[in-house]
Chain A
Amino acid sequence: MTRVVIVDDHAMFRAGVRAELQGAAAPGALDIVAEAEDVPTAVAAIREHRPDVVLLDVHLPGGGGIEVMRQLGGVDARFLALSVSDAAEDVIGTIRGGARGYVTKTITGTELVDAIRRVAEGDAVFSPRLAGFVLDAFAGSIEVAAVDEDLDRLTEREREVMRLIARGYAYKEVAKELFISVKTVETHMSSVLRKLQLSSRHELTRWASDRRLL
C-alpha cells in the first residue's frame, strides 16, 4: 500500500484530489495518511507519518514547495509536484529542488494514481509539459537552469526520449519507437532528472562527495 500525503493550500482542492484518488485507485492500493496546507504543517505531517509519496503544490505559503523539500533533507519520501502554475521557472525549480516528477492539476484521477505508483517505485514522472520545459532548460532558453557545460548535457538518446514524451508518447510507446525496453526508458528519465537536479556546480559537488567520489 502506498502511503500518500497531500500538500496544497486550498482545502477544496485537497478534498477534490482525495475523492478523485479514492475513486480511481484499486481498493487498498492508496492510503491518504495526512493533508497539509503550508510549509510548517507539511513538514510536521511528513515527519510524523513518513509517507511514500508526497503530492506537493508548487505555490505554498511559507516559501513554496521547494522549502518543504529543503527542510526535510533527510526524509526519504518521494515528492510529486502537482501544480496549476505554468511558469517554467517554478516547475523546473521544484524539480531541481528534489521532486521526482511534475503533473498539472487538470490530470485525471487514473493518470494521477498511475503517476503516484510510478514515483513510489522510484521512477521519474515527466508530463509532456515538463518534458518541454526540460528540453528548454537544457537548450538554455529558461534562465533558471545554469546548466553545466561539461557534465550536464543531455545525451542524444535522452533528448530523443524527452522529445517523445513531450510529443505525448507513453513510456511503452517511447520504448517501442526507439526499439529499447521500458526499463531503459526509465533509466534515461532518471538520468535526465539527476542531471537536472545536479545542474548547479554546488549541488554536483555535494552529490559527488556524498558518494565519496571526491
Chain B
Amino acid sequence: MTSTAPTLAPHETRRATRDTAGTYLGGVASGLARHLGLPVLWVRIGFMIGAALGGAGIAFYAGLWMVLPTDERFSDEAPGLASATRTGKRPQEARKLGDIGPTIALGALGIGIVLMFETAFGRGALFWPLVIGIVGVALIWRQADEAQRERWIDSSERINPLRALFGAGGWASYARVFAGGALIFVALGTFALTSGGVGVAREIVIAGLLGVIGIAITLGPWIFRLASDLVDERAERVRSQERADVAAHLHDSVLQTLALIQKNSHDPAVVSRLARSQERDLRAWLFTTPTDSGESIAAALRELSAEIEDAWGVDVETVTVGDTPVPETVAPIVHATREALTNAAKHAGAPKIDVYAEVSPSAVEIFVKDRGVGFDPAAMPEDRHGVRGSIVARMERHGGHAEIRSTAGVGTEVVLKMPLQEERS
C-alpha cells in the first residue's frame, strides 16, 4: 500500500500572525504573545506602558496590525475537515459578544486619558482634530480588516473594491465606514476652523475631497485590475493543486485497492484486509494531520496497529490520550506493545484488539486487551520466551513494569508502564 505522506518534513519558518480567535483589537497582542512564547498579559501590559510613554505603544500596535497577516491563511487542516468546513458541514465559530467588554474598557480608558490631557494642558488647537482623525482612520481600517477576515474564510469569492472595504455588508460595516469618513472630515474641518476662518475650512475640505477623487480616478482601475488578476490566479492555482492532490491520492490508494478487491473477490479474508487498510489510509489522509512515526508515541502506535491489522487480519482499535515524542527510554514500551499485539493476534483468536495508551507527565501506560481464549499466566511454560523475555523482562530491564492478566475463556490484558524521567540538561 502506498502512502502519500511526504518523506521530508518541509522546513517551517516561524511567522508571527494575528490571532483571530482571541481577539479584542485585531488580535495583535495575543498573536505576538504566541509568537514570542510569552503570557499575553505581559505583552498587553507592554503595549500599555508603551502607550503611556508618549504613545509609542499605540503606534507600534497600529503598525503591527497593518503588517501582520491574520493566522487564518496559514491554518492547515486535514483535507476532509477543511472540505467539510468549506461546504458548511461543520459549525462555524461565532464571535462572542462577551469579548466586547475589554474593548469598551479600553475605549473608556482612552477617553479618560484625553480628558486628562485637556485639563492639564488646556484646549490645544491641534489635539482634538488629531484625535478625531485618528479615530476615523482606525474605524475604516478596522472595517477593512473585518472584510479581509471574511475573504480568507470564504475562498470562492472574487474581490471587488466595494467588498474589500465592506466585506459581506451589513449595517455595522457601513456604519463603521461612514462614521470613519465623517470623523476624518470633522477633524479636517475642526482643524481649519480653529486655525483660520470658515473660508479656509471649506477650502481645505474641498481640496481634500478633490485630492481623494483624483487619486481614485488615476489609480482605481489599475488597482482593481491587479486585485482581480491576483485573485483569479490564486484561485486557479489552489484549484489545480487540490485537484492534483486528490487525483494522485485516489489513484495511489483507492483505485488500486478496488482493483485488488475485484481480483480477490472470492476470498473474503483478503477483501476485508484490503478494505480495512484502505479505510485506515483514507481516514488518516482525511482527518488527521500527518506526523512522522519518529516524532510521537501516538504515531508509532498507529503504525504498529496498522502493521498488525495487515499481518493478522484483526481489527486493532487504538486510542491514545496525550502524546510525547519518542525518546530512547520509551522505545522499549513500543517494542513490548508490538510483542503483546502479536501474541494477541496470533493466539487469542479474537476479531478485535483494543489498545489504549495514556501519556502523563510522569509515565507512559499502554494497555493491550483482547477478548480471546485467554490462558493461565501462572501455568505458562518456562520456554515461552515471547511473554517472559520480550514483554516482562524487557520492561523491567528498562525500569518499567509489565503485568499480564488473563482468564481462560474471557480474554487477556497486558498492562505496560514506563516512567518518564524529567529531562535534565
Contact = CB atoms under 8 A, between A and B. Distances in A.
A167 B413 contact: yes
Interface in A45-97: 58-64, 66-67, 84-87, 90, 93, 97
Interface stretch (B137-145, B305-313, B314-322): B314-322
B87 A163 contact: no
Interface stretch (B10-18, B41-49, B76-84, B183-191): B76-84
A153 interface: no
Interface in B302-343: 317, 319-323
B91 interface: yes
A109 interface: no
A96 B397 CA distance: 44
21 contacts: A59-B90, A61-B88, A61-B89, A62-B88, A63-B89, A64-B91, A85-B80, A86-B287, A86-B288, A87-B287, A87-B288, A90-B81, A90-B90, A135-B321, A135-B358, A136-B322, A139-B321, A163-B358, A167-B413, A168-B354, A169-B369
Interface of A: 9, 58-64, 66-67, 84-87, 90, 93, 97, 106, 128-129, 131-132, 135-136, 139, 141, 163, 166-169
A43 to B, nearest CB: 15
Contacts of A9: 89
A63 B287 contact: no
Contacts of B87: 61
Given A86-B287, A86-B288, A166 B356 contact: yes
Given A141-B321, A163-B356, A85 B88 contact: no
B92 interface: yes
Contacts of B369: 167-169
A85 B92 contact: no
Interface of B: 78, 80-81, 84, 87-92, 279, 283, 287-288, 317, 319-323, 354, 356, 358, 367, 369, 413
A166 B319 contact: yes
Contacts of B367: 167-168
Nearest to A104: B317
A128 B88 contact: no
A174 B92 CA distance: 37
Nearest to B284: A86
Q: Give me the 4 closest cross-chain CB pairs, A-B, nearest first.
A: A168-B354, A132-B319, A59-B89, A167-B356
Interface centre among A62, A64, A106, A167 (most CB of B within 10 A): A167
Contacts of B279: 106
B319 A85 contact: no
A93 B91 contact: yes
A82 to B, nearest CB: 14
Contact of A128 (B78, B90, B288, B356): B356
A93 B94 CA distance: 14
Interface centre among B84, B283, B323 (most CB of A within 10 A): B84
Nearest to B323: A141
Which one of B78, B90, B287, B320 has the highest number of Cβ atoms from chain A below 10 Å of its Cβ? Answer: B90
A200 to B, nearest CB: 10
Nearest to B370: A168
A136 B321 contact: yes
Given A60-B89, A61-B87, A136-B322, A168 B283 contact: no
